[in-house]
Amino acid sequence: MCAYSCTLGGERFQFPNLADVMAKATPARSGDALAGLIAESDVQRVAAQMVLADLPLKVFLEELLIPYEEDEVARLIVDSHDAEAFAPVSHMTVGQFRDWLLSDAATPTVLKALAPGLMPEMAAAVSKLMRSRDLIAVARKITVVTAFRSTLGLEGRIGSRLQPNHPADDLKGIVASTLDGLSYAVGDAVIGINPATDNIPTAMTLLSMLDDLRARYDIPTQSCVLTHVTNSIEIINRGAPLDLVFQSVAGTQAANEGFGVTLSMLKEAHEAALSLGRGTVGTNVMYFETGQGSALSADAHHGIDQQTLEARAYAVCRAYDPLIVNTVVGFIGPEYLYDGKEIIRAGLEDVFCGKLLGLPMGCDVCYTNHAEADQNDMDVLMTLLANARAQFLIGVPGADDIMLNYQSLSFHDIAYLRNSLGLKAAPEFEAWLTSMGLVNEAGHLLPSGQATERLLEAAQ
Amino acid sequence: MSDVVKDKWAALRQATPARIALGRTGAGLPTGANLEFQFAHARARDAVHSALDMDALEAELAPLETIRVASAAPDRANYLRRPDLGRKLAAGEADKLNARPLCDVAFVIADGLSSAAVQAHAASVVHAARAKLEGLSFGPVVVASQARVAIGDEIGAALGARLVVLLVGERPGLTVADSLGAYLTYGPKAGVKDSQRNCLSNIHGKGGMSYEQAAEKIAWLTRTALERGLTGTGLKEESGTLTQENAPHIGEA
């Protein structure tokens, strides 16, 4: 008899293996359909969820989705599993784990201690049994504090990345967008540029420019040029002012190879960035990006659904003590997340799983023009994620990224979240904003006056 | 407009096409800026979802012979969800292309993610490029609907073409919704890797590559590829300065 089966409404459902249960239990999305893994009917999906609910959490320790020998991410997950931290929930089924997470017994302190005991597959599994409100309620209970020049993740706060991209890496254009964002109180998590030309000299020029700007106004934040990890190592060797090492990562060794990255490279880069000692209030020096669908697009998914693979990417992230992790949720396109409904669900799953695994999880609330989504969907997702206490969200001028050709949140949207939900920027950044006369005591934007005059000098 | 706070740095707009200094009302976008954004997004959406006007395109391509084919994607919704279907011909479509004399070059026009780009620029680029390729033999111009770049491989093979020049509507942005791309593939057949193609991107009228520039590059690449027997990473474009690093991610692979 098949180990993964149930009878539902008089019909017998069987699933050949654990990966199939996980895939069939996943709320519908186009990427799993493209991979041929999606549930064949809504009833089959519920049957898989019922099977999953009755599986012991321990099954994920016993039945690895990708063999230990084949995949360095699998080895990382197994070798870094903390059995002692896992002990309080080790007797539970996935369904019992969901009930416990939602209960008052799962306090912020308890959840924080649990994180190293959870494998990413456990987080993914329980998320498949949770509704949006469940994901938000549990994520909100989890606090992950990280710091470099600003302290992120404190209660009552939401961070923001200022993303001042330019299609030709024009320095004046980037400064203009940066000043625009600072004037809207954005940039406490990072000022981060995606370079149009991805090479070492360009990255060094951009880093120097951002560092000069930061030093001139004594802004308590960190900068980053989102270039390949090997470039960052070289940039450190050449002595440029690098705050954070960036890298896109995925949940399998093969998909990471598609990004040209291995765990040993990440370790080397982490150590190199730590050696610079540039942080003033903390030592979290890594910035990772992830996103559902990246493994399938690299043909490296091993027959595993994209949400489970995404959670596995978080195991990679947490090995290097990051300042921020960002799921670029709608960027990859409608063949992975088709519409606003799928993007919203995925954004909530990612922030929930990331936080449950102990990560400073943020989100690029975004979509492309060929997805069935618009800014209204982003309004919904950003409001939900702020309530789930995402570590940070991304803002670009007018929500329009003119280099990467997609839409994210605007600087105005970050201000909306802070005003309407009573959230503040990181405390060091908040103090700076106040001293510059950019915000009032409540953190609301002040009419631009002398403050922006001072900032504008930088653009001359 | 007393509720709107104007941003004092509007002069910086000259430094970047980014949507800066929009002003605000509370934390919200002023009405005008909000509608401007909606207009740009609507235009990009229309570029993705509007069907290509085949009759108009054929009229513009005249007197060149054209053949219409459909990909295996039955409609736009499937096309967007299933990139694999857009890369191959629907059943029976290859029959329209068989039993023709072999040729050096076949032009294929694929709607891709912007029918607006194809409608606006494809015929002009074909005419301009052919004018620079005298002495070569050409197959009919094949117009493929719900199609991605790799569909040119199957079409080129069926036509017996030595090289395919495929023009495709690129993923629209808010600023430019009608950007055309060109992919050249020597020895087209199913299973060609993307690294075996040469790509020109950003052919459009808003500061992009002009028809003449595109035609020149296509002609140089075509003649060089036929001479050397390859396209792709082994063939660097040398007809002028061309930066592919800034090309948008087209999502066509």
For A185-224, how does the pLDDT look when each residue is reduced to its tens digit (9 = 90+)? 999 999 999 998 878 999 999 999 999 999 999 999 999 9
Among B27, B41, B245, select the one facing A416 at the smallest CB separation.
B27
Q: Which residues, at least 6 apart from B157, have a Cβ–Cβ distance to it below 8 Å?
A: B188, B189, B190
Q: Which residues, at least 6 apart from B39, have a Cβ–Cβ distance to it below 8 Å?
A: none
Residues A51-109 have pLDDT tens digits of 999 999 999 999 999 999 999 999 999 999 999 999 999 999 999 999 999 999 999 99
| CATH of range B52-228; options 3.20.20.60, 3.40.50.620, 3.40.50.11240, 3.50.50.60 | 3.40.50.11240
To test the contact with chain B by mutation, choose from A174, A199, A335, A370 the residue with the greatest count of B C-beta atoms within 10 A, namely A370
pLDDT at site B239: 61
Alpha carbon distance B137, B155 (integer Å)? 16
Alpha carbon distance B112, B184 (integer Å)? 15
Kindly determine whether residue B173 and residue A416, on different chains, have CB atoms separated by under 8 Å. no
pLDDT at site A408: 98
pLDDT at site A86: 98
Kindly determine whether residue B5 and residue A447, on different chains, have CB atoms separated by under 8 Å. yes
pLDDT at site B237: 66
Alpha carbon distance A202, A195 (integer Å)? 8
Amino acid letter for position A200: I
- Three-state secondary structure call for residue B205: coil
Residue among A208, A206, A241, A247 nearest A226 (CA): A247
Residues A337-355 have pLDDT tens digits of 999 999 999 999 999 999 9
How large is the ipTM? 0.94
Q: Which residues, at least 6 apart from B77, have a Cβ–Cβ distance to it below 8 Å?
A: none
Residues A298-327 have pLDDT tens digits of 889 999 999 999 999 999 999 999 999 999
Instruction: Count CB-CB contacts under 10 A for residue B174.
Output: 23
Instruction: Count CB-CB contacts under 10 A for residue B55.
Output: 8
Residues A246-290 have pLDDT tens digits of 999 999 999 999 899 999 999 999 999 999 999 999 999 999 999
Quote the pTM value: 0.91
Residue with token string 């990560």: A359
B 21-80 residues with CB < 8 A to A: 21-22, 24, 26-29, 33, 37-38, 40-41, 44-45, 47-48, 80
CATH number of A146-456: 3.20.20.70
Residue among A382, A352, A428 nearest A144 (CA): A352
- The domain ranges of chain A are 146-456
Residue among A86, A110, A102 nearest A135 (CA): A102
Q: Could you give the angle at which helices A340-356 and A306-318 cross, rounded to 10 degrees?
A: 40
To test the contact with chain A by mutation, choose from B5, B19, B79, B249 the residue with the greatest count of A C-beta atoms within 10 A, namely B19
pLDDT band at residue B9 using 50, 70 and 90 as cut-offs:
confident
Alpha carbon distance A232, A242 (integer Å)? 8
- Token duo for residue A95: 């369904």
Q: CB–CB of A211/A219 below 8 Å? A: no
- The domain ranges of chain B are 10-48, 52-228
pLDDT at site A459: 65
Min Cα separation A213/chain B (Å)? 16
> What is the three-state SS of A236-264?
HHCCCCCCCEEEECCCCHHHHHHCCCCHH
- Three-state secondary structure call for residue B228: helix
